[in-house]
Amino acid sequence: MYGELPTIQGLIVANHRSYFDPIVIVGHIHAYPVGKKEVESWPLIGYICKISGVIFVERECQDSRQKTCENIKEVINNGNSVINFPEGTTHVLPTTVDFNYGSFKTAAQIKAAILPVAIDYKVKSDAFVNDDTFIPHFLKCFGKLTTEIKITYFPPLYSEDPEYLLKTSKEIIDKELIRYRKDWNNKK
């Protein structure tokens, strides 16, 4: 782990590699993840998500996205943090894909801190991507003796400009993802 754990609540924004991501973050910080509605039906993980307060969003539905923004505001205004993965998908590219704008706009409206987090896995197949199916991937990953993960917590960002928050978070996270990969590649 790199950086200091946040001491304030806000919107935690992280790149997205796997369903492990929110588990790792919640292991360090009490927060409520935002997750896609489909996860609710996954074996074991779906049940854990439901009982732990995950905010589910039906990404294709404008009403659901709007309700999710309202839920994010409520959770943060009640003194808690929310974890969002603004890429909206998992992948193994060296840096992030485009961030979705909505949660940054929501945070700016309530003047919430943005808490950027970078996370990556040394073994790229630990990412949950493409045609992976949950149970085989879960068994493969949890059947290993160890999984090397790097995570960095960055200082909070504040602004009423959601574009600035999005752009700055993305740049910070991308730079750290590149550093992780260089570190791992130099250890070979």
> pLDDT for 157-188, tens place per residue?
999 999 999 999 999 999 999 999 999 998 86
Q: What is the pLDDT of residues 98-108, one digit of tens each?
A: 999 999 999 99
Regions of the chain short of the pLDDT cut 70: 126, 130-132, 134-135, 137-139, 141-142, 188
Tokens found for residue 40:
């609710």
- Token representation of residue 65: 């996205």
Distance separating alpha carbons of residues 165 and 38, to the nearest angstrom: 28
Query: 11 with 112: CB under 8 angstroms?
Result: yes
- Return d(Cα 173, Cα 182) in angstroms, integer: 14
Dihedral sign from CA coordinates of 57, 62, 65, 67: negative
- Closest listed residue to residue 55, CA positions, set 44, 68, 65: 68
Q: Tokens representing 104?
A: 């940054």
Q: Is 0.85 surpassed by the pTM of this model?
A: yes
